Chain A
Amino acid sequence: AQKITQTQPGMFVQEKEAVTLDCTYDTSDQSYGLFWYKQPSSGEMIFLIYQGSYDEQNATEGRYSLNFQKARKSANLVISASQLGDSAMYFCAMRDGGNEKLTFGTGTRLTIIP
């Protein structure tokens, strides 16, 4: 069965610093996708970044990058130059190749301090 683990329930980071949010996963499938979503206090779920299991390069989207270490089964999200608007819950999720559903981690609440 798929499992996603986010071990940091909360993080406080100074504005403009980089931050790494941890995510480890467990699956027996060779083909899978890893996703990060942001949920601000307003409640919506915003897609940030995607990494496929066969992608050789780490995914990047603007200030977001995904540090994908396949052998360690980790998919950490790195946010560079953090901003106050980055304060939110962040969810790591996985989808197996033959599976429709996303399995989510428990989330990390990130607070950016001015």
Chain B
Amino acid sequence: DTAVSQTPKYLVTQMGNDKSIKCEQNLGHDTMYWYKQDSKKFLKIMFSYNNKELIINETVPNRFSPKSPDKAHLNLHINSLELGDSAVYFCASSQASGGGTDTQYFGPGTRLTVL
């Protein structure tokens, strides 16, 4: 009965490779997000989707491409991985968009290490 799940939990790969992280939520939420947590623990939004539509795209390199096949899934594909992409990536979801009150619930995170 996991609310927001991510796979894989750990991902170790070589520079230049392409990889994907998958996220699924079973909360019936309309909005999903990707956040990046760097080595200093700072969390920053990357993308947000509402009902499969992209609504936030922060200044993220276009090597990062989110894909939302349906409102319960938001996957993150990363091309040509670089050392600086090493971080923990969190998926999150919330009930609706446009409201300051909606609580975002986070997945367990995916620790990406680029060698």
Interface residues of A (CB under 8 A from B): 29, 31-33, 35, 37, 39, 43-47, 50, 52-53, 89, 91, 93, 95-104, 106-107
Contact = CB atoms under 8 A, between A and B. Distances in A.
B95 interface: no
Interface residues on B, range: 20 to 34
Contacts of B107: 44
Given A44-B106, A50-B103, A106-B42, A100 B56 contact: yes
B8 to A, nearest CB: 13
Contact of B111 (A29, A33, A43, A52): A43
A100 B97 contact: yes
24 contacts: A31-B100, A35-B104, A37-B106, A43-B108, A43-B109, A43-B111, A44-B108, A44-B109, A45-B106, A45-B109, A47-B103, A47-B104, A47-B105, A53-B100, A93-B43, A95-B102, A99-B100, A100-B33, A100-B50, A101-B45, A102-B43, A104-B43, A104-B44, A106-B41
